[in-house]
Structure 1
Amino acid sequence: MNDTSRPHPSPATVAASGRSRKPERINGAQAVVRSLEELGTDVVFGLPGGAVLPLYEALYGSEKLNHILVRHEQGAGHAATGYAQVSGEVGVCIATSGPGATNLVTPLADANMDSVPIVAITGQVGSNLLGTDGFQEADIRGITMPITKHSFMVTRPEEIPAAIAEAFHVASTGRPGAVLVDIPKDVQNAELDFVWPPSYRLPGYHPVTTPHSRQIEEAARLIADAKRPVIYAGGGVLKANAHKELLAFAEATGVPVTTTLMALGVFPESHPQFLGMPGMHGTVPAVAALQKSDLILALGARFDDRVTGDVDSFAPGAKVIHADIDPAEIGKIREVNVPIVGDAREVLVALRKAVEARPQEQDTSRWTTYLDGLKEDFPPGYDEPEDGKLAPQYVLEQLTGAAGPEAVYVAGVGQHQMWAAQFLKFEKPRTWLNSGGLGTMGYAVPAAM
Structure 2
Amino acid sequence: MTAPTTIRLTTAQALVRFLANQYSERDGREQRLIPGVWGIFGHGNVAGIGQALLQAAVTREADLPYYLARNEQGMVHASVAYAKMRDRLAAFACTASTGPGSTNMLTGAALATTNRLPVLLLPSDMFATRAADPVLQQLEDSRGGDVTVNDAFRSVSKYFDRVSRPEQLIPAVLAAMRVLTDPVETGAVTLALPQDVQAESFEWPVSFFRRRVWHVGRPLPEPAAVERAARLLRNARKPLIVAGGGVVYSDARSRLCAFAEATGIPVADTHAGKGAVPWDHPCAVGGIGSTGAYAANELAKEADVVLGIGTRYSDFTTASHTVFGNPDVTFVNLNVARLDAVKHSAEPLVADARLGIEALTAALTGWRTDEAYRDRTRHLIARTREIEEVCFHRGHGPRPAQTEILGALNQALGDRDVVINAAGSMPGDLQQLWRARDPKAYHVEYAYSCMGYEVAAGLGAKMADPSREVVVLVGDGSYLMMAQEIATMVSEGLKVIVVLVQNHGFASIGSLSEALGSQRFGTKYRFRDGDSGLLDGDVLPVDLATNASSLGADVLHATTVDGFRTAMEKAKAATRTTVVHVETDLYGPNPPGHGWWDVPVSQTSALDSTRAAYETYAAHKLTQRHYL
Q: TM-score range by the shorter chain?
A: 0.7 to 0.9
Identity %: 27
TM-score, L = length of structure 1? 0.86
* Residue pair 1:161, 1:194 contacting (<8 A) in 2 also: no
| Whole-angstrom CA distance in 1 between matches of 2:233 and 2:91 | 36
Q: CA deviation at 1:342?
A: 2.2
* Residue pair 1:231, 1:297 contacting (<8 A) in 2 also: yes
| Whole-angstrom CA distance in 2 between matches of 1:339 and 1:130 | 54
1:238 aligns to what? 248
* Residue pair 2:307, 2:331 contacting (<8 A) in 1 also: yes
* Residue pair 1:285, 1:375 contacting (<8 A) in 2 also: yes
1:202 aligns to what? none
Choose 1 or 2 for highest CA Rg: 2
TM-score, L = length of structure 2? 0.63
- The one-letter amino acid of 1:155's match is S
Q: CA deviation at 1:161?
A: 4.5
1:24 aligns to what? 7
1:171 aligns to what? 180
2:40 aligns to what? 47
- The one-letter amino acid of 1:445's match is V
Q: CA deviation at 1:140?
A: 4.6
* Residue pair 1:47, 1:76 contacting (<8 A) in 2 also: no
| Whole-angstrom CA distance in 2 between matches of 1:252 and 1:90 | 36
Matching of residue 372 in structure 1 with residue 382 in structure 2: no
Q: 1:323 to 1:158 in 2, by over 3 A?
A: same
Q: Which runs of 5+ in 1 are unaligned?
A: 1-19, 200-205
Residues 274-320 of structure 1 show CA distances to partners (whole Å, capped at 9, x for unaligned) of 11000121111111122211110011112211122342663323211
Matching of residue 281 in structure 1 with residue 287 in structure 2: no
Matching of residue 62 in structure 1 with residue 56 in structure 2: yes
1:303 aligns to what? 313
Q: CA deviation at 1:132?
A: 5.5
Q: 1:363 to 1:412 in 2, by over 3 A?
A: closer
Q: CA deviation at 1:151?
A: 1.1
Q: 1:21 to 1:220 in 2, by over 3 A?
A: farther
Matching of residue 84 in structure 1 with residue 90 in structure 2: no
| Whole-angstrom CA distance in 1 between matches of 2:234 and 2:69 | 53
2:222 aligns to what? 212
Matching of residue 400 in structure 1 with residue 440 in structure 2: no
2:340 aligns to what? 329
1:414 aligns to what? 424
- The one-letter amino acid of 1:72's match is N
1:37 aligns to what? 20
1:121 aligns to what? 122
Q: CA deviation at 1:252?
A: 2.7
| Whole-angstrom CA distance in 1 between matches of 2:401 and 2:131 | 56
* Residue pair 2:238, 2:304 contacting (<8 A) in 1 also: yes
| Whole-angstrom CA distance in 1 between matches of 2:265 and 2:311 | 17
Residues 21-51 of structure 1 show CA distances to partners (whole Å, capped at 9, x for unaligned) of 9533221111111122111222322211211
Which is further off, 123-132 or 187-196? Answer: 123-132
* Residue pair 1:29, 1:188 contacting (<8 A) in 2 also: yes
| Whole-angstrom CA distance in 2 between matches of 1:372 and 1:231 | 15
Q: CA deviation at 1:321?
A: 0.2
1:347 to 327, 345, 356: 356
Q: CA deviation at 1:247?
A: 2.2
Residues 326-378 of structure 1 show CA distances to partners (whole Å, capped at 9, x for unaligned) of 2223444x222x1122222222222222222xx42x64221111011011123
Q: Which has the higher contact order (CA 8 A, sep 6+)?
A: 1
Tell me the matched-pair count: 419
Q: CA deviation at 1:415?
A: 0.8
* Residue pair 2:266, 2:283 contacting (<8 A) in 1 also: yes
* Residue pair 2:119, 2:189 contacting (<8 A) in 1 also: yes
Aligned-pair RMSD on alpha carbons?
2.5
Q: SS of 1:97's equivalent?
A: coil
Q: 1:158 to 1:108 in 2, by over 3 A?
A: same
Q: CA deviation at 1:422?
A: 3.1
Q: CA deviation at 1:226?
A: 1.4
1:135 aligns to what? 136
| Whole-angstrom CA distance in 1 between matches of 2:44 and 2:334 | 43
Matching of residue 146 in structure 1 with residue 155 in structure 2: yes
| Whole-angstrom CA distance in 1 between matches of 2:14 and 2:325 | 53
- The one-letter amino acid of 1:355's match is L
| Whole-angstrom CA distance in 2 between matches of 1:276 and 1:68 | 38
Q: SS of 1:269's equivalent?
A: coil
* Residue pair 1:233, 1:258 contacting (<8 A) in 2 also: yes
Q: Which runs of 5+ in 2 are unaligned?
A: 23-31, 58-62, 140-147, 211-215, 460-628
- The one-letter amino acid of 2:106's match is V
| Whole-angstrom CA distance in 2 between matches of 1:130 and 1:339 | 54
Aligned pairs for 1:5-24 within 5 A? 22-24=5-7
Q: SS of 1:289's equivalent?
A: helix
Q: CA deviation at 1:436?
A: 1.1
